Structure 1
Amino acid sequence: MNFSEYQTQALNTDQIPAVEGSELIIPLLGLVGEVGSLMTEYKKHLRDGDAHKLFKEGISEELGDMLWYISNLASKFNLNLEEIAEDNLRKCRDLWGWRDSENIDNNATSYIFDHDFPEHESLPRQFEVEITEVSKDNSVKMKAFINKQQVGNDLTDNSYTSDGYRFHDVFHFAYAAVLGWSVVTRSILKCKRKSNPRIDEVEDGGRAIAIEEGISALVFTYAKDHDFLKGISAIDYQLLKTIKNMTSHLEVAQCSLGDWERAIMMGYDIWRQVEKYRGGKVVVDLDARSITYQIGKSNGS
Protein backbone atom coordinates (compact mmCIF):
# COMPACT_ATOMS: atom_id res chain seq x y z
CA MET A 1 0.00 0.00 0.00
CA ASN A 2 1.31 3.45 -0.89
CA PHE A 3 0.72 6.63 1.08
CA SER A 4 -1.88 8.01 -1.33
CA GLU A 5 -3.98 4.87 -1.06
CA TYR A 6 -3.64 4.85 2.71
CA GLN A 7 -4.66 8.50 2.93
CA THR A 8 -7.80 7.86 0.88
CA GLN A 9 -8.85 4.82 2.89
CA ALA A 10 -8.00 6.45 6.21
CA LEU A 11 -10.19 9.43 5.41
CA ASN A 12 -13.12 7.07 4.79
CA THR A 13 -12.84 5.95 8.43
CA ASP A 14 -12.91 9.51 9.78
CA GLN A 15 -15.48 9.67 12.58
CA ILE A 16 -14.52 13.13 13.83
CA PRO A 17 -17.69 15.25 14.20
CA ALA A 18 -17.98 17.89 11.48
CA VAL A 19 -18.32 20.69 14.00
CA GLU A 20 -16.85 23.99 12.85
CA GLY A 21 -13.64 24.72 14.71
CA SER A 22 -13.05 21.10 15.82
CA GLU A 23 -12.07 19.50 12.51
CA LEU A 24 -8.38 20.36 13.12
CA ILE A 25 -8.03 20.58 16.88
CA ILE A 26 -9.38 17.05 17.44
CA PRO A 27 -6.81 15.28 15.22
CA LEU A 28 -4.07 17.55 16.60
CA LEU A 29 -4.99 16.58 20.16
CA GLY A 30 -5.31 12.99 19.05
CA LEU A 31 -1.78 13.03 17.65
CA VAL A 32 -0.43 14.47 20.89
CA GLY A 33 -2.33 11.83 22.86
CA GLU A 34 -0.86 9.03 20.76
CA VAL A 35 2.66 10.37 21.37
CA GLY A 36 1.89 10.12 25.09
CA SER A 37 0.67 6.55 24.63
CA LEU A 38 3.85 5.72 22.75
CA MET A 39 5.93 7.05 25.63
CA THR A 40 3.85 4.97 28.06
CA GLU A 41 4.63 1.82 26.09
CA TYR A 42 8.32 2.64 26.17
CA LYS A 43 8.15 3.36 29.91
CA LYS A 44 6.72 -0.14 30.44
CA HIS A 45 9.56 -1.56 28.35
CA LEU A 46 12.15 0.25 30.48
CA ARG A 47 10.46 -0.97 33.64
CA ASP A 48 9.73 -4.57 32.65
CA GLY A 49 12.35 -5.29 30.00
CA ASP A 50 11.82 -8.60 28.20
CA ALA A 51 8.87 -9.35 30.47
CA HIS A 52 6.90 -6.79 28.46
CA LYS A 53 6.06 -9.34 25.78
CA LEU A 54 3.73 -7.10 23.80
CA PHE A 55 6.17 -4.20 23.50
CA LYS A 56 6.61 -4.37 19.70
CA GLU A 57 2.92 -4.92 19.12
CA GLY A 58 2.09 -1.95 21.34
CA ILE A 59 4.61 0.29 19.63
CA SER A 60 3.32 -0.78 16.21
CA GLU A 61 -0.26 0.02 17.20
CA GLU A 62 0.63 3.46 18.58
CA LEU A 63 2.66 4.32 15.47
CA GLY A 64 -0.28 3.23 13.33
CA ASP A 65 -2.62 5.51 15.28
CA MET A 66 -0.16 8.38 14.89
CA LEU A 67 0.00 7.73 11.14
CA TRP A 68 -3.81 7.89 10.95
CA TYR A 69 -3.90 11.28 12.66
CA ILE A 70 -1.06 12.58 10.47
CA SER A 71 -2.93 11.39 7.39
CA ASN A 72 -6.15 12.98 8.65
CA LEU A 73 -4.43 16.30 9.20
CA ALA A 74 -2.85 16.14 5.75
CA SER A 75 -6.28 15.59 4.22
CA LYS A 76 -7.81 18.48 6.12
CA PHE A 77 -4.99 20.78 5.06
CA ASN A 78 -5.50 19.60 1.46
CA LEU A 79 -2.03 18.07 1.38
CA ASN A 80 -0.90 14.84 -0.24
CA LEU A 81 0.69 12.42 2.25
CA GLU A 82 2.81 10.77 -0.44
CA GLU A 83 4.19 14.14 -1.54
CA ILE A 84 4.89 14.99 2.11
CA ALA A 85 6.90 11.75 2.46
CA GLU A 86 8.81 12.39 -0.77
CA ASP A 87 9.61 15.98 0.23
CA ASN A 88 10.81 14.79 3.62
CA LEU A 89 13.16 12.22 2.07
CA ARG A 90 14.45 14.88 -0.31
CA LYS A 91 15.16 17.16 2.64
CA CYS A 92 16.95 14.34 4.48
CA ARG A 93 19.11 13.57 1.45
CA ASP A 94 19.79 17.29 1.00
CA LEU A 95 20.91 17.65 4.59
CA TRP A 96 22.56 14.32 5.37
CA GLY A 97 23.57 12.88 1.99
CA TRP A 98 27.12 14.23 2.11
CA ARG A 99 27.83 12.22 5.27
CA ASP A 100 27.15 8.99 3.39
CA SER A 101 29.45 9.98 0.53
CA GLU A 102 32.50 11.22 2.43
CA ASN A 103 34.62 8.47 0.92
CA ILE A 104 33.36 9.06 -2.62
CA ASP A 105 35.55 10.96 -5.09
CA ASN A 106 34.37 14.54 -4.70
CA ASN A 107 35.56 15.61 -8.15
CA ALA A 108 32.30 14.37 -9.64
CA THR A 109 30.28 16.66 -7.41
CA SER A 110 32.45 19.79 -7.50
CA TYR A 111 30.59 23.00 -8.23
CA ILE A 112 32.16 25.19 -10.91
CA PHE A 113 30.29 28.44 -11.44
CA ASP A 114 32.89 30.08 -13.67
CA HIS A 115 33.87 27.37 -16.18
CA ASP A 116 32.81 29.62 -19.09
CA PHE A 117 35.02 32.49 -17.96
CA PRO A 118 38.70 33.22 -18.63
CA GLU A 119 41.26 32.12 -16.06
CA HIS A 120 41.72 35.60 -14.58
CA GLU A 121 37.97 35.70 -13.85
CA SER A 122 37.83 32.22 -12.31
CA LEU A 123 38.45 31.14 -8.75
CA PRO A 124 41.80 29.32 -8.71
CA ARG A 125 41.28 25.62 -8.20
CA GLN A 126 44.07 25.52 -5.59
CA PHE A 127 45.67 28.28 -3.55
CA GLU A 128 47.47 28.76 -0.25
CA VAL A 129 46.94 31.64 2.15
CA GLU A 130 49.45 32.67 4.80
CA ILE A 131 47.67 34.27 7.74
CA THR A 132 49.52 36.35 10.30
CA GLU A 133 48.54 38.46 13.27
CA VAL A 134 50.10 41.84 13.99
CA SER A 135 49.64 44.55 16.59
CA LYS A 136 49.02 47.87 14.93
CA ASP A 137 47.50 51.18 16.04
CA ASN A 138 46.68 49.78 19.49
CA SER A 139 44.71 46.90 18.01
CA VAL A 140 45.35 43.34 16.90
CA LYS A 141 44.92 42.82 13.16
CA MET A 142 44.95 39.93 10.75
CA LYS A 143 46.86 40.01 7.48
CA ALA A 144 46.57 37.46 4.68
CA PHE A 145 49.14 36.75 1.96
CA ILE A 146 49.21 34.69 -1.23
CA ASN A 147 52.64 34.23 -2.79
CA LYS A 148 53.95 36.82 -0.29
CA GLN A 149 51.53 39.44 -1.65
CA GLN A 150 48.91 40.74 0.76
CA VAL A 151 45.31 40.01 -0.25
CA GLY A 152 42.30 41.74 1.24
CA ASN A 153 42.41 44.30 4.00
CA ASP A 154 43.80 44.24 7.51
CA LEU A 155 41.00 42.90 9.69
CA THR A 156 40.17 43.40 13.35
CA ASP A 157 37.48 41.76 15.44
CA ASN A 158 35.32 44.90 15.20
CA SER A 159 34.25 44.05 18.72
CA TYR A 160 34.72 45.42 22.23
CA THR A 161 36.14 42.02 23.23
CA SER A 162 38.58 39.78 21.39
CA ASP A 163 36.66 36.87 19.83
CA GLY A 164 38.77 35.92 16.81
CA TYR A 165 36.40 37.28 14.18
CA ARG A 166 39.40 38.96 12.53
CA PHE A 167 40.18 35.51 11.07
CA HIS A 168 36.75 35.14 9.48
CA ASP A 169 38.14 35.16 5.91
CA VAL A 170 38.76 31.47 6.64
CA PHE A 171 35.00 30.95 6.41
CA HIS A 172 34.91 32.52 2.95
CA PHE A 173 37.78 30.31 1.83
CA ALA A 174 35.83 27.28 3.11
CA TYR A 175 32.77 28.35 1.10
CA ALA A 176 34.99 28.59 -1.97
CA ALA A 177 36.49 25.16 -1.33
CA VAL A 178 33.29 23.22 -0.64
CA LEU A 179 30.66 25.20 -2.53
CA GLY A 180 32.82 26.51 -5.37
CA TRP A 181 31.28 29.86 -4.42
CA SER A 182 32.43 32.86 -2.44
CA VAL A 183 31.82 36.39 -3.63
CA VAL A 184 34.14 37.68 -0.92
CA THR A 185 36.96 35.37 -2.02
CA ARG A 186 36.46 36.53 -5.62
CA SER A 187 36.80 40.10 -4.43
CA ILE A 188 39.88 39.32 -2.35
CA LEU A 189 41.56 37.47 -5.23
CA LYS A 190 40.40 40.04 -7.81
CA CYS A 191 38.75 37.48 -10.09
CA LYS A 192 35.28 38.97 -10.44
CA ARG A 193 33.54 38.13 -13.71
CA LYS A 194 33.56 41.58 -15.26
CA SER A 195 33.35 40.28 -18.83
CA ASN A 196 29.67 39.59 -18.15
CA PRO A 197 28.16 42.79 -16.70
CA ARG A 198 25.00 41.02 -15.51
CA ILE A 199 26.93 38.31 -13.65
CA ASP A 200 29.29 40.94 -12.29
CA GLU A 201 26.37 42.96 -10.94
CA VAL A 202 24.18 40.19 -9.54
CA GLU A 203 26.51 37.33 -8.62
CA ASP A 204 29.72 39.24 -7.82
CA GLY A 205 28.32 42.61 -6.77
CA GLY A 206 27.82 44.46 -3.52
CA ARG A 207 24.54 42.84 -2.53
CA ALA A 208 25.94 39.33 -2.92
CA ILE A 209 29.02 40.33 -0.89
CA ALA A 210 26.77 41.72 1.85
CA ILE A 211 24.77 38.48 1.89
CA GLU A 212 27.88 36.35 2.26
CA GLU A 213 29.26 38.59 5.00
CA GLY A 214 25.85 38.40 6.68
CA ILE A 215 25.96 34.61 6.57
CA SER A 216 29.44 34.65 8.09
CA ALA A 217 28.27 36.89 10.96
CA LEU A 218 25.04 34.93 11.46
CA VAL A 219 26.83 31.59 11.70
CA PHE A 220 29.50 33.09 13.97
CA THR A 221 26.82 34.14 16.45
CA TYR A 222 25.42 30.60 16.40
CA ALA A 223 28.88 29.03 16.67
CA LYS A 224 29.81 31.25 19.60
CA ASP A 225 26.95 29.71 21.56
CA HIS A 226 28.09 26.20 20.65
CA ASP A 227 31.80 26.27 21.60
CA PHE A 228 32.63 27.35 18.05
CA LEU A 229 31.32 23.98 16.83
CA LYS A 230 34.01 21.97 18.59
CA GLY A 231 32.67 18.43 18.96
CA ILE A 232 29.49 19.40 17.11
CA SER A 233 28.40 16.98 14.38
CA ALA A 234 25.36 18.78 12.97
CA ILE A 235 24.23 22.36 12.33
CA ASP A 236 20.75 23.50 13.31
CA TYR A 237 18.36 22.87 10.41
CA GLN A 238 16.63 26.24 10.71
CA LEU A 239 19.98 28.04 10.45
CA LEU A 240 20.85 26.15 7.28
CA LYS A 241 17.40 26.82 5.86
CA THR A 242 17.82 30.55 6.58
CA ILE A 243 21.11 30.53 4.68
CA LYS A 244 19.45 28.77 1.73
CA ASN A 245 16.70 31.38 1.72
CA MET A 246 19.23 34.22 1.85
CA THR A 247 20.99 32.87 -1.24
CA SER A 248 17.95 31.58 -3.14
CA HIS A 249 18.41 34.08 -6.00
CA LEU A 250 22.12 33.39 -6.46
CA GLU A 251 23.99 30.66 -8.35
CA VAL A 252 24.95 29.00 -5.07
CA ALA A 253 21.27 28.09 -4.62
CA GLN A 254 22.00 24.78 -6.34
CA CYS A 255 24.20 23.77 -3.40
CA SER A 256 22.40 21.66 -0.82
CA LEU A 257 21.87 22.14 2.89
CA GLY A 258 24.42 19.39 3.38
CA ASP A 259 26.94 21.30 1.25
CA TRP A 260 26.47 24.35 3.45
CA GLU A 261 26.77 22.29 6.61
CA ARG A 262 29.98 20.72 5.36
CA ALA A 263 31.44 24.10 4.37
CA ILE A 264 30.61 25.57 7.77
CA MET A 265 31.95 22.61 9.73
CA MET A 266 35.22 22.52 7.74
CA GLY A 267 35.60 26.28 7.98
CA TYR A 268 35.28 26.26 11.75
CA ASP A 269 37.68 23.35 12.08
CA ILE A 270 40.29 25.49 10.31
CA TRP A 271 39.25 28.70 12.09
CA ARG A 272 39.76 27.12 15.54
CA GLN A 273 43.33 26.21 14.59
CA VAL A 274 44.09 29.59 13.05
CA GLU A 275 42.67 31.32 16.12
CA LYS A 276 44.62 29.04 18.49
CA TYR A 277 47.99 29.59 16.77
CA ARG A 278 47.24 33.20 15.75
CA GLY A 279 47.78 32.44 12.09
CA GLY A 280 49.25 29.75 9.87
CA LYS A 281 48.86 28.44 6.33
CA VAL A 282 45.43 27.63 4.90
CA VAL A 283 45.42 25.35 1.85
CA VAL A 284 42.31 25.56 -0.34
CA ASP A 285 41.56 22.92 -2.98
CA LEU A 286 38.33 23.40 -4.95
CA ASP A 287 38.81 20.20 -6.94
CA ALA A 288 39.06 18.13 -3.77
CA ARG A 289 36.45 20.31 -2.04
CA SER A 290 38.79 20.60 0.92
CA ILE A 291 40.45 23.18 3.13
CA THR A 292 43.35 22.22 5.39
CA TYR A 293 45.65 23.91 7.88
CA GLN A 294 49.40 23.98 8.47
CA ILE A 295 51.11 25.72 11.36
CA GLY A 296 53.36 28.49 10.05
CA LYS A 297 56.97 28.88 11.15
CA SER A 298 56.12 32.00 13.07
CA ASN A 299 53.30 30.19 14.83
CA GLY A 300 55.19 27.51 16.67
CA SER A 301 56.47 24.95 14.15
Structure 2
Amino acid sequence: MHAVSSRRSRHTTRISAVLAAAALGVAGYTAIGSPAASAENPYERGPAPTEASIEATRGAYATSSRTVSSWVSGFGGGTIYYPTTTSDGTFGAVAISPGYTATQSSISWLGPRLASQGFVVITIDTDSRYDQPASRGDQLLAALDYVVASNDIGPRVDRNRLAVMGHSMGGGGALEAAKDRPALQAIVPLTAWNTDKTWGDVSVPALVVGAENDDVASVTSHSEPFYTTLAGEKMYLELDGASHFAPNSPNTTIAKYSISWLKRFVDDDVRYDQFLCPLPDDSTLSESRGTCPMS
Protein backbone atom coordinates (compact mmCIF):
# COMPACT_ATOMS: atom_id res chain seq x y z
CA MET A 1 0.00 0.00 0.00
CA HIS A 2 1.39 3.38 -1.04
CA ALA A 3 0.35 6.69 0.45
CA VAL A 4 1.24 10.27 -0.32
CA SER A 5 1.14 13.26 2.01
CA SER A 6 1.96 16.76 0.80
CA ARG A 7 0.62 20.28 0.75
CA ARG A 8 -0.79 19.45 -2.65
CA SER A 9 -2.27 16.07 -1.75
CA ARG A 10 -2.68 14.29 1.58
CA HIS A 11 -3.89 10.72 1.82
CA THR A 12 -3.38 8.96 5.13
CA THR A 13 -4.89 5.83 6.66
CA ARG A 14 -4.55 5.05 10.34
CA ILE A 15 -3.75 1.41 11.01
CA SER A 16 -5.19 0.34 14.35
CA ALA A 17 -2.94 -2.71 14.43
CA VAL A 18 0.12 -0.45 14.46
CA LEU A 19 -1.08 1.29 17.58
CA ALA A 20 -1.92 -2.00 19.23
CA ALA A 21 1.53 -3.35 18.43
CA ALA A 22 3.13 -0.20 19.74
CA ALA A 23 1.16 -0.57 22.96
CA LEU A 24 2.45 -4.10 23.34
CA GLY A 25 5.98 -2.81 22.87
CA VAL A 26 5.49 -0.19 25.57
CA ALA A 27 4.16 -2.83 27.92
CA GLY A 28 7.54 -4.56 27.79
CA TYR A 29 9.07 -1.69 29.82
CA THR A 30 8.74 -1.47 33.55
CA ALA A 31 9.78 2.18 33.69
CA ILE A 32 11.18 4.97 31.59
CA GLY A 33 14.94 4.55 31.52
CA SER A 34 14.77 0.78 32.02
CA PRO A 35 15.93 -0.51 28.61
CA ALA A 36 15.45 -4.26 29.01
CA ALA A 37 14.04 -5.79 25.82
CA SER A 38 10.44 -6.96 25.76
CA ALA A 39 9.54 -10.63 25.55
CA GLU A 40 7.89 -9.98 22.16
CA ASN A 41 11.01 -8.40 20.65
CA PRO A 42 14.50 -9.10 22.02
CA TYR A 43 15.96 -6.29 19.88
CA GLU A 44 14.13 -3.39 21.53
CA ARG A 45 16.57 -0.95 23.07
CA GLY A 46 15.78 2.11 25.16
CA PRO A 47 12.60 3.39 26.79
CA ALA A 48 9.28 3.79 25.00
CA PRO A 49 9.65 6.60 22.44
CA THR A 50 7.83 9.92 22.40
CA GLU A 51 7.89 12.85 19.99
CA ALA A 52 10.18 14.62 22.44
CA SER A 53 12.58 11.68 22.72
CA ILE A 54 13.14 11.32 18.96
CA GLU A 55 13.57 15.07 18.57
CA ALA A 56 16.05 15.35 21.45
CA THR A 57 19.71 15.95 20.68
CA ARG A 58 20.58 12.94 22.86
CA GLY A 59 18.73 9.73 23.67
CA ALA A 60 18.68 7.54 26.78
CA TYR A 61 22.13 5.98 26.35
CA ALA A 62 25.42 7.45 27.51
CA THR A 63 27.94 7.15 24.68
CA SER A 64 31.64 7.10 24.03
CA SER A 65 33.73 7.18 20.85
CA ARG A 66 37.02 6.10 19.39
CA THR A 67 38.96 7.03 16.29
CA VAL A 68 39.63 4.63 13.42
CA SER A 69 42.98 5.21 11.73
CA SER A 70 43.10 6.37 8.13
CA TRP A 71 45.49 3.47 7.51
CA VAL A 72 42.70 0.94 7.90
CA SER A 73 41.93 -1.17 4.83
CA GLY A 74 38.79 -0.58 2.77
CA PHE A 75 37.87 3.00 3.73
CA GLY A 76 39.54 6.19 4.87
CA GLY A 77 39.18 5.84 8.62
CA GLY A 78 36.54 7.42 10.80
CA THR A 79 34.98 7.57 14.23
CA ILE A 80 32.94 4.94 16.06
CA TYR A 81 30.26 6.12 18.51
CA TYR A 82 28.68 3.54 20.79
CA PRO A 83 26.56 3.12 23.93
CA THR A 84 28.79 2.63 26.95
CA THR A 85 26.57 0.04 28.62
CA THR A 86 27.32 -3.65 28.20
CA SER A 87 24.24 -4.83 30.08
CA ASP A 88 21.61 -4.50 27.34
CA GLY A 89 22.91 -7.06 24.88
CA THR A 90 24.11 -6.21 21.39
CA PHE A 91 23.13 -3.24 19.24
CA GLY A 92 22.50 -2.70 15.56
CA ALA A 93 25.25 -0.85 13.67
CA VAL A 94 25.06 2.00 11.16
CA ALA A 95 27.80 3.28 8.80
CA ILE A 96 27.51 6.84 7.44
CA SER A 97 29.36 8.34 4.46
CA PRO A 98 29.90 12.02 3.65
CA GLY A 99 29.37 13.48 0.19
CA TYR A 100 31.65 14.48 -2.67
CA THR A 101 34.77 16.39 -1.51
CA ALA A 102 33.51 16.28 2.11
CA THR A 103 34.96 14.60 5.20
CA GLN A 104 33.27 12.83 8.08
CA SER A 105 33.03 16.17 9.92
CA SER A 106 30.12 17.08 7.62
CA ILE A 107 27.96 14.27 9.00
CA SER A 108 29.59 13.78 12.42
CA TRP A 109 26.58 15.23 14.28
CA LEU A 110 24.68 12.04 13.46
CA GLY A 111 27.20 9.82 15.29
CA PRO A 112 26.43 10.59 18.94
CA ARG A 113 22.81 11.41 18.18
CA LEU A 114 22.10 7.94 16.81
CA ALA A 115 24.39 6.12 19.23
CA SER A 116 22.57 7.63 22.21
CA GLN A 117 19.37 6.07 20.88
CA GLY A 118 20.91 2.59 20.97
CA PHE A 119 23.09 2.03 17.90
CA VAL A 120 26.77 1.57 17.21
CA VAL A 121 27.60 4.19 14.56
CA ILE A 122 30.67 4.71 12.40
CA THR A 123 31.08 7.95 10.45
CA ILE A 124 33.70 7.48 7.78
CA ASP A 125 36.20 9.38 5.73
CA THR A 126 36.51 8.02 2.22
CA ASP A 127 39.71 6.89 0.50
CA SER A 128 39.49 9.98 -1.68
CA ARG A 129 37.26 13.03 -1.39
CA TYR A 130 36.40 12.44 -5.05
CA ASP A 131 35.22 8.82 -4.74
CA GLN A 132 32.07 8.06 -6.71
CA PRO A 133 28.92 6.42 -5.24
CA ALA A 134 29.88 2.84 -6.12
CA SER A 135 33.19 3.23 -4.27
CA ARG A 136 31.45 4.89 -1.32
CA GLY A 137 29.05 1.95 -1.17
CA ASP A 138 31.96 -0.48 -0.97
CA GLN A 139 33.57 1.64 1.75
CA LEU A 140 30.36 1.75 3.80
CA LEU A 141 30.26 -2.04 3.77
CA ALA A 142 33.96 -2.24 4.62
CA ALA A 143 33.34 0.06 7.58
CA LEU A 144 30.52 -2.15 8.85
CA ASP A 145 32.75 -5.20 8.49
CA TYR A 146 35.50 -3.41 10.39
CA VAL A 147 33.19 -2.57 13.30
CA VAL A 148 31.83 -6.12 13.49
CA ALA A 149 35.33 -7.62 13.44
CA SER A 150 36.96 -5.20 15.89
CA ASN A 151 38.02 -6.67 19.22
CA ASP A 152 36.72 -3.84 21.36
CA ILE A 153 33.48 -2.73 19.67
CA GLY A 154 32.57 -5.89 17.73
CA PRO A 155 31.16 -7.77 20.76
CA ARG A 156 28.63 -4.94 21.21
CA VAL A 157 27.27 -5.38 17.68
CA ASP A 158 24.68 -7.75 16.24
CA ARG A 159 26.20 -8.62 12.87
CA ASN A 160 22.74 -9.43 11.51
CA ARG A 161 21.33 -5.94 12.16
CA LEU A 162 23.28 -3.52 10.01
CA ALA A 163 22.37 -0.35 8.09
CA VAL A 164 23.98 2.42 6.02
CA MET A 165 23.36 6.12 5.54
CA GLY A 166 25.03 8.82 3.48
CA HIS A 167 24.84 12.36 2.18
CA SER A 168 24.93 13.28 -1.53
CA MET A 169 27.32 10.81 -3.22
CA GLY A 170 27.42 9.06 0.15
CA GLY A 171 23.65 8.65 -0.13
CA GLY A 172 24.18 7.27 -3.62
CA GLY A 173 26.71 4.97 -1.97
CA ALA A 174 24.06 3.78 0.48
CA LEU A 175 21.94 2.68 -2.48
CA GLU A 176 24.96 0.90 -4.00
CA ALA A 177 25.67 -0.85 -0.69
CA ALA A 178 22.09 -2.12 -0.50
CA LYS A 179 22.35 -3.49 -4.04
CA ASP A 180 25.59 -5.28 -3.16
CA ARG A 181 24.44 -6.54 0.24
CA PRO A 182 20.69 -7.29 0.33
CA ALA A 183 20.98 -8.54 3.92
CA LEU A 184 21.22 -4.96 5.18
CA GLN A 185 18.27 -4.05 7.38
CA ALA A 186 17.84 -0.40 6.36
CA ILE A 187 19.30 2.44 4.28
CA VAL A 188 18.87 6.21 4.61
CA PRO A 189 20.06 8.19 1.55
CA LEU A 190 20.16 11.93 2.41
CA THR A 191 19.83 14.34 -0.56
CA ALA A 192 21.47 11.52 -2.49
CA TRP A 193 23.25 11.76 -5.84
CA ASN A 194 23.77 8.92 -8.30
CA THR A 195 23.82 8.64 -12.08
CA ASP A 196 21.85 5.38 -11.78
CA LYS A 197 18.16 6.25 -11.37
CA THR A 198 16.63 2.77 -11.21
CA TRP A 199 16.85 0.61 -8.09
CA GLY A 200 14.26 -2.08 -8.65
CA ASP A 201 16.75 -4.72 -7.50
CA VAL A 202 16.98 -3.11 -4.03
CA SER A 203 14.42 -4.31 -1.49
CA VAL A 204 16.20 -3.14 1.67
CA PRO A 205 13.83 -0.81 3.59
CA ALA A 206 14.76 2.72 2.49
CA LEU A 207 14.09 6.17 3.91
CA VAL A 208 14.87 8.59 1.06
CA VAL A 209 15.26 12.22 2.17
CA GLY A 210 15.23 14.95 -0.46
CA ALA A 211 15.42 18.73 -0.21
CA GLU A 212 12.90 20.98 -1.95
CA ASN A 213 15.47 23.55 -3.10
CA ASP A 214 18.32 21.15 -3.87
CA ASP A 215 20.20 22.53 -6.88
CA VAL A 216 22.95 19.88 -6.76
CA ALA A 217 20.87 16.68 -6.68
CA SER A 218 17.39 17.94 -7.54
CA VAL A 219 14.58 15.79 -6.21
CA THR A 220 13.07 15.40 -9.69
CA SER A 221 16.24 13.78 -11.07
CA HIS A 222 17.57 12.03 -7.96
CA SER A 223 15.58 11.39 -4.76
CA GLU A 224 12.17 10.99 -6.40
CA PRO A 225 13.23 8.45 -9.06
CA PHE A 226 15.30 6.62 -6.46
CA TYR A 227 12.24 6.33 -4.21
CA THR A 228 9.86 5.42 -7.04
CA THR A 229 11.95 2.51 -8.30
CA LEU A 230 12.93 0.95 -4.95
CA ALA A 231 11.28 -2.43 -4.43
CA GLY A 232 10.89 -2.80 -0.66
CA GLU A 233 9.36 -0.89 2.23
CA LYS A 234 10.13 2.75 1.62
CA MET A 235 9.43 6.34 2.57
CA TYR A 236 10.17 9.62 0.81
CA LEU A 237 10.45 12.84 2.81
CA GLU A 238 11.10 16.21 1.18
CA LEU A 239 12.54 18.90 3.44
CA ASP A 240 10.58 22.11 3.01
CA GLY A 241 12.65 24.96 1.59
CA ALA A 242 15.91 23.11 2.26
CA SER A 243 19.10 22.96 0.21
CA HIS A 244 21.34 20.07 -0.78
CA PHE A 245 23.46 20.69 2.29
CA ALA A 246 20.71 20.38 4.90
CA PRO A 247 22.17 17.08 6.24
CA ASN A 248 25.52 18.77 7.02
CA SER A 249 24.34 20.41 10.24
CA PRO A 250 22.11 19.18 13.08
CA ASN A 251 18.61 18.78 11.70
CA THR A 252 15.75 17.63 13.90
CA THR A 253 13.58 16.44 11.01
CA ILE A 254 16.34 14.27 9.53
CA ALA A 255 17.23 12.91 12.96
CA LYS A 256 13.74 12.05 14.20
CA TYR A 257 12.71 10.13 11.09
CA SER A 258 16.11 8.46 10.65
CA ILE A 259 15.93 7.27 14.26
CA SER A 260 12.38 6.00 13.72
CA TRP A 261 13.29 4.21 10.49
CA LEU A 262 16.38 2.57 11.93
CA LYS A 263 14.54 1.54 15.09
CA ARG A 264 11.70 0.08 13.06
CA PHE A 265 13.79 -1.93 10.62
CA VAL A 266 17.12 -2.58 12.36
CA ASP A 267 15.56 -3.25 15.78
CA ASP A 268 12.14 -4.48 14.53
CA ASP A 269 10.71 -2.02 17.04
CA VAL A 270 7.04 -1.41 16.21
CA ARG A 271 6.81 1.24 18.93
CA TYR A 272 8.24 3.60 16.29
CA ASP A 273 5.52 2.91 13.71
CA GLN A 274 3.53 5.79 15.20
CA PHE A 275 6.06 8.27 13.76
CA LEU A 276 6.03 6.70 10.28
CA CYS A 277 2.45 5.62 9.65
CA PRO A 278 0.17 7.47 9.04
CA LEU A 279 2.64 9.46 7.00
CA PRO A 280 4.11 12.48 8.77
CA ASP A 281 2.05 15.67 8.62
CA ASP A 282 4.99 17.86 9.51
CA SER A 283 5.41 21.59 8.83
CA THR A 284 9.10 21.01 8.05
CA LEU A 285 8.20 18.75 5.11
CA SER A 286 6.89 19.83 1.71
CA GLU A 287 5.97 16.25 0.81
CA SER A 288 5.93 12.73 2.19
CA ARG A 289 5.18 9.40 0.54
CA GLY A 290 5.47 5.88 1.80
CA THR A 291 4.34 2.29 1.84
CA CYS A 292 3.51 2.62 5.57
CA PRO A 293 5.53 -0.11 7.30
CA MET A 294 3.69 -3.43 7.51
CA SER A 295 0.40 -1.92 6.24
Q: Same fold (TM over 0.5)?
A: no
Q: TM-score, normalised by structure 2?
A: 0.29
Q: TM-score, normalised by structure 1?
A: 0.29
**Structure with higher strand content:** 2
Larger radius of gyration: 1
**Structure with higher helix content:** 1
